Amino acid sequence: MLTRELIYGLMPYSIHQKIVRWKCKFKKQDDLLVNNHLALYPHSFDLNKVVKEELDKCVAFLPYCAKPMGEHECPASDKINKRKNQKCIKVSGGKCNVPCSLGEMVDVLVKHGFKKEQIFIIDRDSNLFPWLKQKREEGYEYFMPGTGCKYGVSYAIDYVGKKLGYKGCIAFVDDFCPGDKDNGVCKCMNDYLGMEGVDKGKMTKIHKETIILMDCILSGEYHNMNEEVTHKSPQTNESPSSI
């Protein structure tokens, strides 16, 4: 496992992006999903069937790096670990008015019936993976969504998908500030191990259109655009709520 992680860690970020595109088979994905930072795993995953019949078998996980800091501080932060914990006021059933894309996604999940025990805020992979294993043993089969950066997804999807047997929908986070690439998503082993150890201050976000589309999906309103419109690729700045 360590050798495999080392190999992945030494790969440039561009290779990790290609690995994700290959493992998720982006060319066979619905353009509407990919253009709005989502992907099915596997690509043939029957999204609507699960939403209609097996939503109670879904879990969701979101990374702590999508919590706010700086001008808008996450109220669940603490003095020692800062944002790096499994806490979220909204997951616990409380109210929070701090601008936060992670919180907005939690709002969508709670709206569609997700309970506290179905949502995991990732403080580190070494806590996420045992949680997913336990949930699998409890009968959960899908992630809706599983959220992360492409660096993390490129290696984690093998364990989550192949070893644990999960299927579902992946949501990709992006740099919180597009002009500040150094403090956004992890792009190398040092970045990732750094954020696994302590909160280094890297900030990511779940795109607004990703959250809107996820709401549509969980509402049962999603339709595969590639099956309905030939050679048409929706723009990322279009509101997916119109589907």
SS3 string, the chain, reads CHHHHHHHHHCCHHHHHHHHHHHCCHHHCCHHHHHCCEEEECCCCCHHHHHHHCHHHEEEEEEHHHCCCCCCCCCCCECCCECCCCCCCCCCCCCCCCCCHHHHHHHHHHHCCCCHHHEEEECCHHHHHHHHHHHHHCCCCEEEEEEECHHHHHHHHHHHHHHCCCEEEEEECEECCCCCHHHCCCCCHHHHHHHHHCCCCCCEECCHHHHHHHHHHHCCCCCCHHHHCCCCCCCCCCCHHHC
Tell me which of 53-57, 101-105, 108-112, 179-183 is least confident: 179-183
More confident residue, 58 or 71: 58
pLDDT in tens, 168-208: 999 999 999 888 878 888 888 778 777 878 898 999 999 99
pLDDT at residue 228 in the model? 54
pLDDT at residue 234 in the model? 44
Percent of the chain with pLDDT over 70: 88
- The ranges assigned to domains in the chain are 2-221
